[in-house]
Structure 1
Amino acid sequence: MAVKQKVVECVDPATTEVRLQLLLRALQGTPRDGLHRDKVCVDIVVSLGLCQIPSDLLEFKQFISDLNRVEGILKQECANAELMYATLRALYNEISDASKVLSPAMSIVLQLIDIDAIPSAVKWILNSGYSDQSLERALLNLCTWLTKWTYTSNLGPLVLSFMQGLEADQHFDILLEVTLATIEPLFMLLILPDSRKSVGPVVLYMLSKVQNSPDAFHKIIPCVQHVITSLEKENSDTSRDYIHKIVRLCAALMEHFPGYTALYGKLKPVLQPYFPMENYKELLHCKSWADINSTVSIRSSLGKVGLTNLGNTCYMNSVLQALFMTKLFRNEVLLMDKITMPLFHNLQDLFVLLQHSQKCTLSPNDILHLARPPGFQLGHQHDSSEFLGYLLDVLHEQERTVSEESLQQPTTSNGSGMNLANTIVQQSFGGKTMTVSTCDHCGRRSERSDNFRELQLSFPNNSENHSVTSLLHYYLQPEKLCGDNQYHCDKCKGLTDGERVTHIIETPRRLILTLKHFGYDSVSQQKTKLLHRVKLEDYIQLGEINYELYAAVVHCGSSVDSGHYYTFAKDNEDWYKFNDCLVLKTTAMQLCELKPPETPYILFYRSQDSEEPDNLQRTRLSQRLQSVLNKDTTEFESEKRKRPSRVYNTRQSRGNDDPPPPGCGGGGFTNSSSNMYVC
């Protein structure tokens, strides 16, 4: 039997223990010859990526023992440069594949590289002609492993060297993306002595380098007290050293990003007992990643503008970008000329600047203060769907109130009628449902019509294969009313069994679907996230109308109270990823290939019966909005004159010729029981 066949067979069993043992058996029974050695190394790498880490302590110890034996075989096979090259190439190809979720056990391949040779290995990767998407995925995988696995001593140094190499090549967009995605769990690992040695330098590097935006710093603020308290209890030389470093860095960053009084008000008492008297600003004297606020190249090349995170406000930024990319809604907002509507005016200002400003980022501070829902606290993470609903409600009510005052018409009791239908929000997103309830006992039917601006789609309990279409069908299928959910029949004068079904009787021009990934756990009495994967269709059908997907708000994280929101949106045929201040070109495939804990949360579809309008020309803007743009241009030109001109090439071309592989050797495993898997 060929080597490849033997190794592939070992990935079929359900358990990791059997998988690794069969892998070892296959490898130990395989004759070594020049024709097969490169295949052996590649197959070992691929197989390691499929090995899940056992949670049971005894099984974990056996797992580590088996990994030691696999590592020994790898060292034998990679005795020359060519085989090392093939092995590292296989590792990189796996970790840069967005379609795969890989085990951190694969990181043991890094132990074959001398720690002094890690910079050479990184340089080899960066000069091998890989795409930016590939580099970002690889770094994200490595950082994710770093949050879960303390066994590979070379992993932390490799991550740090990889990021330094990307910085040298001016891949600031990749560094910012990965930092925002991983800074929280990495920071929390500072409480563990086994993790601190490898994770600590990476965390300090990330926080000191992101000087263009407070996003990364603000993400770790809720964790600072817990980390410092844990380090204080440990009371070791390294824990005291990291308390000192964390406090100095937080003090420097608070001064570097002023104006967040509410957020910093909770942080300062935590830092006060250790607050440095001097020299803490030196931590930010290093060369930072590119200040994207000072460059015009990103705006001119992509034509899109980011939004500053004002302290865990990604839930708001993601929604605002999705609404801005809804051209039908955007144009109507920009053309609105009625007065006494503060939120509308501020949304107009934001939209006109997102479309025409030369700046790379804008602050949505005014929107935050006018449209922050009751109960939403500054500096805290909140639900983007709740924010969207509240924002649309306020816009709708403001316009309806002004219309009624101008027409001197009273508000209808049920909130329906001419004024409701004529608001910009309702014209853009409004539809109507008819709910029909039928009594099983007497057959009486009752009907109720409701206006809607979004449909909230639940997940059925008895299915694992989900798509947007299947969730829509589930929403519209008849529901049995029985048990605790009986129907109150007016004719029978009481609760009876029955059936309820919802029909869409008026379809919206722009359809908003919220996938209800967040539920309530009655045992823990907390909100939880359902980590379902949903197939996203480019086109769906609602009634007789076909809809095309054009935007999606994504939640990254395993909890409703943490994680991060960002937006994918389509403009003509191009897709963009809006991640707070960072805007990147992307593809629909990247959206469709997301896997939990990254889950599409709010989907925006365009009716194909409703024509997509062109961008509103500047000549059609009101005099007030022209003045807003003139002021913004003046500010931009003034800022540009104050700063040195810096244009960074963040999409450098690379040759495809393979350079010599880096040196190898050294760095085997230790058998210390202190190295454990971080759950």
Structure 2
Amino acid sequence: MAVKQKVVERVDPSNDARLQIILRALQDITARDGLQEKMCAHIVISLGTVPVPTDESSYMKFISDIRSVQAILAKECSNQKQVFAALKALYDEISNPNKQLSPAMSIVLQLIDENDIPNAVKYILNTGYPEQNLERALHTLCNWLTKWIWTDNLGPLVLEFMRGLELEQHYDILMEVTYAHIEALFKLLILPKSRKGVGPVVLHMLTRVQHSPQVFHKIIPQLSNICKQLSNQKTESSQTYLQAIVNLCIALMEHFPGYTNLYEPLNKVLEPYCPNSDYKQSLRCQSWSDSTNSVIPNRYSIGKVGLNNLGNTCYMNSVLQALFMTKTFRNEVLLHNKDMTPLFSKLQVLFALLQHSRKFSLSPSDILNLSRPPGFLLGHQHDSSEFLGYLLDILHEQEKNITPSDNTDVAGAVAISVTQTVVQQSFGGRTITVSRCGECATKSERADNFRELQLSFPNHSDNQSVQTLLDYYLQPEKLSGDNQYHCDICGRLTDGERITRIVEAPPRLILTLKHFRYDPASQQRTKLLQRVKLDRQVHLDKYQYELYAAVVHCGSSVDSGHYYTYAKDEEDWYKFNDCSVIKTTSDELCKLKPPETPYILFYARQDVTEPVSLPCTVLSNKLQLVLTKDLSEYNDEKRRQPLRVYNNRQDRNDEPPPPGCGGGGFATPAGEYVCVLMNC
């Protein structure tokens, strides 16, 4: 033990020559007493503190010393207990979230024969580390892989580590690490010395992320240089990886369609190269999202947050997600810094969390408590259109009460009070309704603000589209029978005509398709189970609008069934179904058939620029504190997750020795043999 204390005292973390000190101490130990298990562990830990020099002369001396240390360890760690101590120390260190470790530590991996690396990974998984420690270990190994070429086993270990995590469906860990390191690893493909270890890891990452284009899109800016460099090298290795990249990029562009701005330059880069006939073969593997047993709470896989159903509250959740995906409205809410009512303040918090939280889903209980319309009973299903109208009305009225209004004339009509609230700025439009007496031709006009147009179906409503329903809404209406017009000039009810004109088109147009009608026989609101052609674009007055969100109702009655939302962000479409959010396409929305019917449609005016999502840094201090607290809760939840138990040995103190010393089993301190595969 005196020798151990000597090493501890002499290895000063601030000393650039610490590796030489370790080497001399190691030589001294082996010459006198031989290398014991505890000293193996201590040497490994000390290697983790050794900085890698940056100048060339010091670096080459450093590598020479590293190889000397590696040679001594390989010679002295001749039994299973010594290898066990060294590897356990390595695993403990790299999984520690509070340590930044030198890649020199990785030379310990050379104690394992490459064929035994799968068993080494089984060992680390069978040791019972929490998920956050496994994630930290993989982060550390990938970081080393970007900086270190002197450990041949490092690349194969990273690849096998990822495969081991796949078997246990740790897809959240794999996505976190891939997203963090894919760019740095991909750049190293041009270096022959790095390619052997890095190449298989990069290809594995890119082929397994088939549920989200984000990882693929991160490497696109590097592809031109990578392909050019590999092509110019003319070696067997460079040409093999060049062909693999060409095949994979073409397959991924087909797998993630619709990114024209990204793919047009990429196609020019790939134009000189020909893909193999079976170029799609690389994607015929299990994606990291292919789990039928669990839902993976991962922001990087989808990038969107769900909302918990609080008891038949899908009518509310679907509307909130559609409003959140309206960026003009979302940004105005987030940047609002004036006096706010409790409802507006809670909506601001919810939008900040929906944009920046790492949680899988959130509880909108505050919004429910503050915006539940009169007559809406807790636990009962209600109409999402009624909720949307009430929510926008109450937000507008509450803000209007603390905001001065302007009086504006609309095309010569009577002056009406206009308050440019957040709701009005995003969804507000104006109409003039002109009524004409059929007897004396006198006209009367009424100006109205609107935030939603409710589109009825004509009596003969086969083969209707959204555009035809919108045109029908704006057609002249005959006023006769029970719906006669009262003329102030004639002084009585007369036949007449009414027409509505749009005089101010809203930046974002909300259209509700009135699928529900009152049935006098049953005295209930029934649903019209008919299909409507869902136009991706419509025109209103002189403006063109493009569909970006739709609340869908599934069921045969307004008071039953289920609501969910489709919405677009950039080029991607998402399906928000309470706490679940998945990637989808606009084609899926357009192909819906009754009883699944689009109910509330959201269109963006094409001459109004779509704003970008706000970064966290521009939000108020109050919201940043909310996000900080939310992140802390997320991290606490991850830490509180129960340990994954990979075998039935967790209650024993005699941990199984690690693999890597040859043979299929290893002697335990009790003299028994444990099968390495744990399933024999």
Residue 661 (structure 1) aligns with:
658
| Structure 1 residues 589-668: aligned runs within 5 Å | 651=644, 653-654=646-647, 655-656=649-650, 657=652, 658-664=655-661
Which amino acid in the other structure matches residue 70 of structure 1? V
In the TM superposition, what whole-angstrom CA distance separates every residue of 1:71-99 from its partner, at most 9, and x where no partner exists? 12222331100110011000000000000
Query: How far apart in 1 are the matches of 2:353 and 2:272?
Result: 39
Q: Does the 8 A contact of 2:47 with 2:105 survive in 1?
A: yes
Query: How far apart in 2 are the matches of 1:384 and 1:373?
Result: 21
Q: Does the 8 A contact of 2:227 with 2:242 survive in 1?
A: yes
Q: Say yes or no: does 1:551 pair with 2:643.
A: no
Residues 550 and 37 of structure 1: is their aligned pair in 2 closer, same or farther, counting only changes over 3 Å? farther
Residue 481 (structure 2) aligns with:
none
SS at match of 1:153: coil
- Out of 559, 572, 580, the position equivalent to 1:359 is 580
In the TM superposition, what whole-angstrom CA distance separates every residue of 1:253-309 from its partner, at most 9, and x where no partner exists? 1111112222212211111211426211111112332336x766447x99x98529x
Residues 154 and 27 of structure 1: is their aligned pair in 2 closer, same or farther, counting only changes over 3 Å? same
Q: Say yes or no: does 1:173 pair with 2:172.
A: yes
Q: Does the 8 A contact of 1:142 with 1:159 survive in 2?
A: yes
Report % sequence identity.
Answer: 45
Query: How far apart in 1 are the matches of 2:239 and 2:353?
Result: 42
Query: How far apart in 1 are the matches of 2:120 and 2:603?
Result: 46
Cα offset, 1:359, TM superposition? 2.4
- TM-score (normalised: structure 1): 0.53
Cα offset, 1:126, TM superposition? 1.3
SS at match of 1:4: helix
Q: Say yes or no: does 1:255 pair with 2:257.
A: no
Which amino acid in the other structure matches residue 384 of structure 1? P
Q: Does the 8 A contact of 2:35 with 2:76 survive in 1?
A: no
Residues 8 and 376 of structure 1: is their aligned pair in 2 closer, same or farther, counting only changes over 3 Å? farther
Which amino acid in the other structure matches residue 569 of structure 1? D
Cα offset, 1:166, TM superposition? 1.4
Residue 321 (structure 1) aligns with:
355
SS at match of 1:29: helix
Residue 132 (structure 1) aligns with:
131
Query: How far apart in 1 are the matches of 2:614 and 2:246?
Result: 30
Instruction: From the CA coordinates, give the structure whose radius of gyration is larger.
Output: 2
Query: How far apart in 2 are the matches of 1:320 and 1:81?
Result: 51
- Out of 599, 611, 615, the position equivalent to 1:384 is 615
| Structure 1 residues 490-529: aligned runs within 5 Å | 510-512=622-624
Residue 276 (structure 1) aligns with:
275
Residues 275 and 376 of structure 1: is their aligned pair in 2 closer, same or farther, counting only changes over 3 Å? farther
In the TM superposition, what whole-angstrom CA distance separates every residue of 1:21-76 from its partner, at most 9, and x where no partner exists? 11122222336788971221111111111111111111011101111221122223
Residue 620 (structure 2) aligns with:
454
Q: Say yes or no: does 1:84 pair with 2:83.
A: yes
| Structure 1 residues 119-518: aligned runs within 5 Å | 119-276=118-275, 278-291=277-290, 297-298=295-296, 306-307=303-304, 320-322=354-356, 335-337=391-393, 341-342=426-427, 357-361=578-582, 384-385=615-616, 389=618, 454=620, 510-512=622-624
Residue 339 (structure 2) aligns with:
none
Which amino acid in the other structure matches residue 661 of structure 2? C
Cα offset, 1:336, TM superposition? 3.4
Cα offset, 1:329, TM superposition? 9.0
Which amino acid in the other structure matches residue 357 of structure 1? D
Query: How far apart in 1 are the matches of 2:147 and 2:169?
Result: 28
For these two proteins, the number of residue pairs brought into alignment is 414
Query: How far apart in 1 are the matches of 2:73 and 2:25?
Result: 14
Q: Does the 8 A contact of 2:95 with 2:134 survive in 1?
A: yes
In the TM superposition, what whole-angstrom CA distance separates every residue of 1:567-602 from its partner, at most 9, and x where no partner exists? x825xxx8226xxxxxx94359x9xxxxxxxxxxxx
Cα offset, 1:153, TM superposition? 0.8
Query: How far apart in 2 are the matches of 1:277 and 1:115?
Result: 31
CA-based RMSD: 4.4
Query: How far apart in 2 are the matches of 1:511 and 1:211?
Result: 34
Residue 476 (structure 1) aligns with:
none
Residues 247 and 650 of structure 1: is their aligned pair in 2 closer, same or farther, counting only changes over 3 Å? farther
Larger relative contact order (C-alpha < 8 A, sep ≥ 6)?
Answer: 1
Q: Does the 8 A contact of 1:322 with 1:569 survive in 2?
A: no
Which amino acid in the other structure matches residue 266 of structure 2? L
Q: Does the 8 A contact of 2:146 with 2:188 survive in 1?
A: yes
Residue 630 (structure 2) aligns with:
569
Residue 9 (structure 1) aligns with:
9
- TM-score (normalised: structure 2): 0.53
Cα offset, 1:374, TM superposition? 7.8
Residues 42 and 330 of structure 1: is their aligned pair in 2 closer, same or farther, counting only changes over 3 Å? farther
Residues 261 and 329 of structure 1: is their aligned pair in 2 closer, same or farther, counting only changes over 3 Å? farther
Q: Does the 8 A contact of 2:29 with 2:35 survive in 1?
A: no
